Structures are given as structure tokens and as C-alpha cells.
Chain A
Amino acid sequence: MHSNKYITVYTVAMTLIVSVVLAIIVTGLRPAHEANEAVFKKRDILSAIKNELPVDLESISDQEVLSLFNERIEQVTLDANGQPVEGVKAETIDMAKEEKKPEAERLYPMYIYKGEKSTFYLVSVRGNGLWDKIWGTIALQDDFNTIAGVSFDHVTETAGLGAEIKDSPAFKQQFVGKKIYNDENEFVSVAVVKGGIKKPEHQVDAIAGATITSNGVTEMMENGLEVYLPYFESKKNK
């Protein structure tokens, strides 16, 4: 049996050693963490238009992702009324944090990709899946109507069902070429529907067995794109 004094000294010493060593390791690795996080986010944004990129996104290095992003992308930050805001870089906006703010104070990121032939407008959307949050990037062509590509991600949708919104290339491919405005020039968004598409311009097929996640995507697209509409209108009129 050890004395109480021994135990106290032992505990204090152990706590000190462990926290100091961990603090050193974490401080050393933090720059790498931050760099990784930035690359991860940029790769994710670019993946919405991966068919339009001059390179294969999956095979290029982190460094190339950064230079591609910096060269080709112009960042715009919008306020809740769709007006550009100065002084805030779009890539620093964390949609999860914006969601917690009152609606009128939220900021929305917009990435304008200037390719050799065409320009794409990439916007971020966020909503609810079955278990937790889902989010994504929607790329529009410069008519502000035709979708050029999408990418989705999620916290923890069911693997094989809801998670297919991220994992299935076929699901995402369906969105390409869909229109977010109808012929009367009203905003209708693009819906994910079960059991047969009736309006091929505005609907895509749902994932079997993942109704809630699919509905979540529909809702997210509608609410998410809506905030960007004033900006689209102002650009279109120019």
C-alpha cells in the first residue's frame, strides 16, 4: 500500500507530464491540421464542378488544389439580402456557425470559377438529413439557371442509404443540366422525388430506402438557393 502523499505526488506528476507532452505535440501539428482543413474544404467545393476542371481533381496533390483554387476562383460574400459584403473572405465562412445566428445577420459564401471557356457560380447550401446535418455545393452555369454540378456531404447519414448522396456519382450526375427556374421564370429549385420523374427539368430520382435524406436534399436546395436569388437577378440584369 502506498501512502496518500505518494498517490498525490504521483497523480500530479502524471497529469503534468501528460498535458505538457500533449500540448507540445498539438502545437507542433496545428499548422498541418489547419492546412489540411483548408485543402479539404477547397477540394470539396471544386468537386461540384469536377467534370469542368482542366485536371482530374482526385489525382492532383494538395498543393495543386490550392493553386487551382487561388488562380481560378473569385470569392464573394453575400449578406442575407443577397448584397455583396466587403471585408469578409468567403472561404472563412463556416456555414454551421452562420446557422446559429439570427437570419438577418447570416453571411453566405459564393465562389465564382472562371474557366477557360465558361464561368460557374458555386454556392453553399445546408440542411437536415435523417440523423444530422447535410450540406453541399451547387454549381450554376452563367445563365444562373442550369446546374453544372453538385457535391454533397453529411455528418452521419446511414452508409449505403442516405450516405449515397455523397458516395454515389450517379446520384450527383442526375443534377447536371437541371434548371432551377421554370419557363415562366419562377424559381422552382430542383426536387428529389420518389417513384417516377414528372418534370424532367426540375426533378431527379431519389435514393431507394433513403426518403428522409432525399427530402432533406430537396428542402436544402430550395431554402439554400433562395438566399442567392437576389444576387442572381442583379447579375442577370447587367
Chain B
Amino acid sequence: MGDLLNIFLKSVFIENMVLAYFLGMCSFLAVSKSVKTAVGLGAAVIFVLTLTVPINWVINEMVLGPNGIFKTDLTFLRFILFIATIAASVQLVEMVVEKFSPALYSALGIFLPLITVNCAILGGALFMVAREYDFAEATTFGFGSGVGFFIAIVVMAAIREKIRYSAVPAPLRGLGIAFILTGLMGMAFMSLMGINPANYMN
């Protein structure tokens, strides 16, 4: 249990997808203009990461690995199968949400297609393989990374809403200052690194 909590805290704060690895920057910058839409995208990312990382874990172990159903090393198909899984599950989620919860769909709907090409989702799956997590760890990692993305994008949107009233030099307004802000946030989050939550338990 402690291990899982450790992975969760790490993926939320210390190894934050956006601020420590700079993954998912495209949608992070494009959708962080207002807090409301940022919350929508953030929630959708939590949802999709929690879903796809474990699914991709199963595919990696059961289909691609040397101990899978084909008994051969098919890891060269990893990219294709991972991205296909992500695209398919995003589409599935979109259809299910549309059918059963129109309210949620109108809130999340437009963000879902965006998510397929969000580097954070594929990055989550690839990191999960590189770090050799087991199933429970992979699920925790997926959820934690999603929460990390959520926090980062909402905070960023809040800052950008305020900065609109500041005297930023015209050529730097909008995108330019957003880059520099993200850099500063990234450096602030760097001060959290090296904190190993496991040391504070027991």
C-alpha cells in the first residue's frame, strides 16, 4: 500500500507529466486560457489516463511480451498498438458518455478527441513500460499522472486569467508569456524533487 501511495504522490507532484517532463504541452497551452475549460480538459485527462495506462499494461504483458499469447517478442508493434488502444478507448468513452450523460458530454465532449494526440497519454503508457510497473502500480501511476496534469493546467489557467490585466510587452502577450510562466512553474516544482514520500511514512 505504501508503495502505491508513494507512486501516486510522486506522479502528482514530483514527476509531474507537464512540469517535470513537459509532456502534453500542446493542449496544456491551448486550453489554459480560462479555468473553466481547463477543469474540463483536466478531468478528461484524468479519466483517459486512468483507463488507458492499465489497458496498455495488459496489452504489453499479454500480447506483446515474450510471455504473452503469441510467445514471441512483438515489442516492435508497441507504438502502433498503444496508440490504437488510446484512440479506440477515447472514442468508446466519447460514445458512452454521449449516450448516458449528456451533461457530462457537453462539459467534456469537445476535449476528448483532443486527448488522443496528447503526448501525456502515450507518454504515460511508455513510461509505464520503461519503469516496469506491475498492474496496480500502473493504474496508480495513470491516475496520479492525470491528477498532476489537472493541477498543472488549472493553476496555469488561473495565472493566465490574472495576467491578462498585467502590462506584458505586446509581442510577448499570450503565447510567449505562457511559455515563460510554465518554465517558472516547472522550476518551482523542481524544488519538490528529491523528496521521497516513502521516507516520511512509518
Tell me if chain B binds chain A. Answer: yes
Docked pose: A18 CA to B131 CA in angstroms: 28
* Chain A hits for B15, CB < 8 A: 131
Kindly list chain B residues whose C-beta atoms are within 8 Å of the C-beta of A158: 190, 193
B77 within 8 A of A: yes
A26 to B76, CA, bound (A): 7
What residues of chain B lie closer than 8 Å to A23, measured between beta carbons?
Answer: 76
With known contacts A131-B15, A132-B131, A22–B76 Cβ distance under 8 A: yes
Number of interface residues of A (CB under 8 A): 12
Which B-chain residue is minimally distant from A215 (CB atoms)?
Answer: B194
Q: Is B170 an interface residue (CB 8 A)?
A: no
Name the prevailing secondary structure of the B interface residues. helix
B69 within 8 A of A: no
For the complex formed, measure the closest distance between the CB of B81 and the CB atoms of chain A, giving whole angstroms: 10
Complex: A155 Cα to B190 Cα, angstroms: 18
Query: Which single member of B77, B80, B193 contacts A130 (CB below 8 Å)?
Result: B193
Given contact pairs A131-B15, A132-B131, A19 touches B77 in the complex (Cβ within 8 A) = yes
CB distance A212 to B76 under 8 Å?
Answer: no
> With A131-B15, A132-B131 given, is the CB distance from A18 to B80 under 8 Å?
yes
Q: How far is B190's CA from A212's CA once the two chains are assembled, in angstroms?
A: 13
Is A211 interfacial (CB 8 A cutoff)?
yes
- Bound together, the chains give a CA A211 to CA B76 distance in angstroms of 38
Which among A18, A131, A212 has the greatest number of chain B C-beta atoms within 10 A? A131
Whether the Cβ atoms of B77 and A22 lie closer than 8 Å is: yes
Contact flags (1/0) for B180-202 with A, using CB distance below 8 Å? 00000000001001100000000
How many angstroms from the CA of A23 to the CA of B72 in the assembled complex?
12
- Which of B15, B76, B80, B130 is most buried by chain A, counting CB atoms within 10 A of its CB? B76
Q: How far is the CB of A204 from chain B (nearest CB, A)?
A: 20
Instruction: Find residues 105-145 in chain A having any chain B CB closer than 8 Å to their own CB.
Output: 130-132
B131–A211 contact, CB under 8 A? Answer: no
Shortest Cβ distance from B195 into A: residue: A212
Smallest Cβ distance from A115 to chain B, in angstroms? 37
Q: Which residues of A contact B131 (CB under 8 A)?
A: 132
Docked Cα-Cα span, A232 to B193, in Å, equals: 38
Chain A residues, CB < 8 A from B194: 130, 211-212
Q: How far is the CA of A226 from the CA of B4 in the complex (A)?
A: 31
Scan A12-24; emit 1 where CB is below 8 A from any B CB, else 0. 0000001100110
Chain B hits for A132, CB < 8 A: 131
Please give, as numbers and ranges, the residues of chain B lying within 8 Å of A130 by CB-CB distance: 193-194
How many angstroms between the C-alpha atoms of A155 and B130 in the bound complex? 9
Taking the closest CB of chain A, its distance from the CB of B51, in whole angstroms, is 22
Report the Cα distance A131→B130, complex, angstroms.
Answer: 12
For A155, give the chain B residue with the smallest CB separation.
Answer: B130
Determine the residue in chain A with the shortest Cβ distance to B84: A15
Identify the closest chain B residue to A96 (Cβ): B132
A177 to B198, CA, bound (A): 36
Contacts of A181-223 to chain B: CB distance below 8 A: 211-212
By a CB distance below 8 angstroms, the chain A residues around B190 are 158
Within 8 A of B (CB), among A15-37: 18-19, 22-23, 26
Q: How far is the CB of B92 from chain A (nearest CB, A)?
A: 16
Interfacial residues of chain B within 52-78, with CB under 8 A of chain A in the complex = 76-77
Closest beta carbon of chain A to B7's beta carbon, Å = 13
**Residue of A18, A26, A211 with most chain B CB atoms under a 10 A cut-off:** A26
The 6 lowest CB-CB distance pairs between A and B, nearest first, are A212-B194, A26-B76, A130-B194, A22-B76, A19-B77, A130-B193
What 15 additional pairs, Cβ within 8 angstroms, besides A19-B77, A130-B194? A18-B80, A22-B76, A22-B77, A22-B80, A23-B76, A26-B76, A130-B193, A131-B15, A131-B193, A132-B131, A155-B130, A158-B190, A158-B193, A211-B194, A212-B194
Q: Can you give 6 contacting A-B residue pairs, CB < 8 Å?
A: A19-B77, A22-B76, A26-B76, A130-B194, A131-B15, A132-B131
